[in-house]
Structure formats: structure tokens, C-alpha cells
Structure 1
Amino acid sequence: MSHQQVSLIAINAGDVASLNQGEYLLERFSWKSIGLIEGKPAYQLNDVRMWIFDDGILFEDSIDKRWSNQTTEIVREVIFPSRHSAASGKPSLTLHPIGVPQLAKDEQPKFGGKAGFAPPPSTRLASWWKMLHSHTKDATVADKFELTLEVTHHGPWLDVPAMFIEIGSTERDWPNRDAAKLLGDIISEGMALDGGSNIGLWDPVSNADELVLVTLGGGHYAPRANKLALVDGVWLGHMLATYALPFVKPENDTEPPGGTWQQSIDSAISATKQAFPNGKIICSMDKKAFRGWQRQAIRDYLLQQRIPLLTTKQILEALGK
């Protein structure tokens, strides 16, 4: 193997939703086995690689570097087909970036990742979110599964753009082969496994100065991003839920709020900039998710960092909508 740039699909064989997506892709296209990498089966098709892990993926840190160390190929992104768990039990198909930027850096993440940091978000999030909607319209799963983005959460840690693409939300839904086929089709079309054009890759020259959205506040299912990422011209970076912006109220108004909210914003914006070089990073805030003093602290901090904080109306106006 060479120093070729490749995209990596990481499959968790202990997760039926992940395995079904992987098997569907292997059956649909003529992959070539490249033997075992770290003792795990691996396959190649064009500039895409598939790596099958035995059981569990959230703590498999640095698989981009590990692949490169074994093959000398340079991993440019990682896509993680997966299951999604939710207490609501609602059947759902989801996409999300990864990271735990809100955790104190000496904390041990319960679900993987590097405390206080987030890997770069996949540049494909917004385009694949649009594809998920268009593919689901006439699909057999249309009436059964709701579509949603999720905010940035859990591991593993990587240095390259990453995204989870998931089937949820219970043991009843995870084995659904129609859902696996639908997500597999999005992966295959998006990554040009059929020989077409890649969908959602960022070009620092041709995409320079285009809007890249980071959302702040709201619940785990990113209602603000769900709507805005469907708008043509919007690229999507990290999404931070209210719980990922922990504030501690100061004893008097002259002191800045405590907590790791600034660290979380810094990590999310830095990682998004890394994924979208030359992009115009903007933030959008769910005002109702915060108290007044928290909103003001966020506004002041973003102003200090020279990151525009825009309303939905302002974003649409900037896009000429």
C-alpha cells in the first residue's frame, strides 16, 4: 500500500445495526479483501476502506493513525455505521458528530472520547442529512422511522473528520434490514462507491467563505440544526446541547461565569475550523435554552472570539433566501 488518501468505514461486528450496514455494502459492491489489519478483517474499494472491529467502537481511539501505521495510507475521514439507543424507544435514523468537549480535561469519559475535546466533524453532515430526507420519502421505512440529527457526543477520539450514521432506538429496531439498506445506500452514494461523485466533501478553494454552522443549546436531538441543515448553502459543524455548555453562576455580576462552557465552545469551533479550512464559521443559539446571564456570556465571548452569532433570519438573509 502507498501514501494514498483514503476514507475509512469502521464497522462494529458486535452491533447488529452496524454489521448489517457493513454486510449490505460488502454484498452490493466488489470489495477486495486486504487481509487482517491489527487482526481485524479489512477491505478496499476505490479509495474507501472498511475495517471490521470485533465488539465495541467507542473506545477505539486513533483508528485513523492506527490504520496509517499499519498500511502507510493516510486516513482523511472515518464514517461509523452504528445503532442508536434512546430511552424514548422511538424508531429513528440519525447522524451526528462526536466528542465530549464539555468534560473537564482530567475526567474519564464514560462513553469514550478525549475529555475536553471534539474531533473534527464530518463535512458530509449537512449534505447527508438532506440525502437522508430525500431517500426516505418513498422508502419502506418512511412511516416507521423518524429522522433526526443528534448533537455532538461520545467517542472515540480521532484527528480526522468523523460521523456516526445510526439506526435506533431499541433492540426491536437495530436489526431492521430495510433501515440498514437505506443508510447503506446513503453511504454508498455519498462516498461514490458506485463510481459517481463524492457528496459532502469540502474543498478549501471552491467552498471558501461558505457558511459553516455551529449550534449552541437545545436538546439532544438538535432541533435548530435539524431545520437549518436542510437549507441549501448551509454546511454543518459541531452541535452543542445545553448540557454540553455547563455554566456556574458567579457570586457577583462583575465576575465571568464559571464552568466549562468556554472550553466546550472553543473545542467545537476549533475542530469545525479544522474540518472546514477557509470556511466562514458562524454560530446560532437557542435563546430559550439559556438564562439571560448565560446568553449574554455567550454573546460576549463569541464577540471576543470574532465569531458571528446569527439568528435563523440572518442566516437565511446571508444566503439570499
Structure 2
Amino acid sequence: MILLIASRKDGASMEMASRLLELFKFDKLDANRYTYKNYELKFIDNLHIYQNMEDLEEEVEKVVFLSKHSSKADIKSLTVHPIGNFRKAELGGLDNVIVPSDPLGMSASLRYIKNNYSGDHFEITFEATHHGPYMEKPAYFIEIGTTENEWKQEGIADLMARAIMEGVEKDYGNYVGVGGGHYAPKLSSYFFSNDINIGHIIPKYVHEIISEDEIENAVLKTMNCKGFLMDAHGTKGRVKDMIAGIADKHSLEVLKI
């Protein structure tokens, strides 16, 4: 079962949840839960980044969080990203702990958005791994940024809802992204032009503090990881050295772009 989480404290989350209920005819189980085929949509009262979920039912295969995207620079974006922290947990989750990524589902959603959005208001992109909540099931966030004007824009919540439900998972190789800024522009651009899935993304701003164990853990928490997709110019030397060792240890590819 795929669990979809909507937060009542998040306007974009509620817009996407509303469209899911209308487009896909979910059946109501109770005030907080709806079901459709292999999906369950669950409403929570708290902000999802702070609601850790260590005790999910065994039948839950993975979790998708519906969310707004916040940007100090007011970047208008449609994004997906893995969750967890490569540093102190300032926005939920645990310090230096990441959650299993969902490279197939997350990549399928972003690919669907890219292929079906025809406007020029939004940037469509991955974001680096960041923030909570903590859980032990594969998960990702799908987000509309940055204000009510964006998440109420005609057709956008529909697009995001359909991306979750209709994005086609491709059996491409799964890679850990490395380098570049928070929105991983080179990695995102490569992704849209090549047959590849991306799981965890390790941005340059954590390269001075990240450990070799944490990088290796990103591999282990990217299902069936085939290697690293590296923004070579946007990757610090110490991280390149650690990746070389990890790649050799696990017989992984290093694709440098």
C-alpha cells in the first residue's frame, strides 16, 4: 500500500489532496482516511515535517507527502525530493539521519510533471535531501512553491495529483545525486535528458561536514543503487575522494557531468 499524507496546516497539501479525492474517487474510511486501489490518503493535523512515523503498518510500501514549497528567494517551483538530514535536524527528522528514498516513484512523478506542464511560471526540479519527518519506509515529498497564488493556480494541483497517481515508474538505474546547489540544476537537467532515476541527493553545502559513512548510507538507502551521478564542478575534492572509495567498495558507477 502506498500512503499519501496531507497536512491540514499546509495549503498546498490540502489543494493536492482535494484534487486527488475528486479525480480518483477515493472511498472514505473515516474522517481522516480515504482509500483507492493500492493507495490510502491520510489527513493529519500537524505539519508533516515534524510528524515522525517510526511505527507505520507493515503493509505500507512507501509514503508520499503532499506539501507546499518554501523559498526565501520566492522561487516558483514544482519539486520532488528525498527526506532526511545530512546535518543537524532544524526542520524535523533526526540529526544526521536520512530516510530510505524512493527513486522510482519520485523520478516518475517529476518526469510526469515535466512532460505535462506547458507553462513558464514554474521551475521543475529536484531538491536535495533535506528535512523531516523520520521513518523507516521509502518516502519523498512532492511540492508546489511558494504561495497560495501558486498552489491555487488553475490546473497545478491537478497536475501534481496526477503526477503521483499516473507517473510511470521506469526500470532505469537508480543513482545517488552529488553536488551543486539545493535545486541540483545540473543533475535535474541530466535526468530529464537521460534514462535514469535519482534517489538521495547530497548538495555541495554539506560537503565540508558530511562523513564517508553518511555517503555510503545514501547508497544503501537508495534502492538497488547503481552508482553516483556527480556534478563534478559542484563537488568538493574531499567528497570526490570518499565517493571513489565507496564506488570501488560496492562496484558502483560514477557518472560525472
Give the TM-score, by structure 1 length: 0.73
1:265 matched to 2:204: no
Q: Distance in 2 between matches of 1:309 and 1:180?
A: 36
Match of 2:99 among 109, 119, 136: 119
Q: State the match for 1:93 in structure 2.
A: 78
CA 1:184–1:301: 2 relative to 1, 3 Å: closer
> Is contact 1:218–1:242 with CA below 8 Å preserved after alignment?
yes
1:135 matched to 2:108: no
Deviation at 1:292, TM superposition (A): 4.0
Match of 2:163 among 179, 186, 189: 186
> Is contact 2:6–2:66 with CA below 8 Å preserved after alignment?
yes
- Tell me how large the CA RMSD over aligned residues is: 2.1
Match of 2:178 among 203, 207, 216: 216
Aligned length: 256
Task: Could you tell me which runs of 5 or more consecutive residues in structure 2 were left unpaired when the two chains were aligned.
Answer: none
Q: Give the match's secondary structure for 1:154.
A: coil
Q: Distance in 1 between matches of 2:187 and 2:234?
A: 14
Q: CA offsets, 1:110-145, max 9 Å, x none?
A: 1111222211112212222221111102xxxx1221
1:308 matched to 2:253: yes
CA 1:177–1:111: 2 relative to 1, 3 Å: farther
Paired amino acid for 2:136: D
CA 1:291–1:11: 2 relative to 1, 3 Å: closer
After superposing the two structures, state which structure 1 stretch, 112-121 or 170-179, moved more. Answer: 170-179
Q: CA offsets, 1:65-123, max 9 Å, x none?
A: 34x2xxxx6100111110001111121111111111x22xxx5x111112222111122
Match of 1:54 among 24, 45, 50: 45
Q: Distance in 1 between matches of 2:239 and 2:180?
A: 13
Q: State the match for 2:8 in structure 1.
A: 13
> Is contact 1:244–1:264 with CA below 8 Å preserved after alignment?
no
Q: Give the match's secondary structure for 1:289.
A: coil
Q: Distance in 2 between matches of 1:11 and 1:55?
A: 10
Q: Distance in 2 between matches of 1:286 and 1:144?
A: 26
CA 1:26–1:302: 2 relative to 1, 3 Å: same
Task: Could you tell me which runs of 5 or more consecutive residues in structure 1 were left unpaired when the two chains were aligned.
Answer: 1-5, 191-198, 202-206, 248-258, 313-321
Q: State the match for 1:194 in structure 2.
A: none
Q: CA offsets, 1:8-57, max 9 Å, x none?
A: 11001111100010011112232221125xxxx11111111010011301
> Is contact 1:86–1:170 with CA below 8 Å preserved after alignment?
no
Deviation at 1:286, TM superposition (A): 2.0
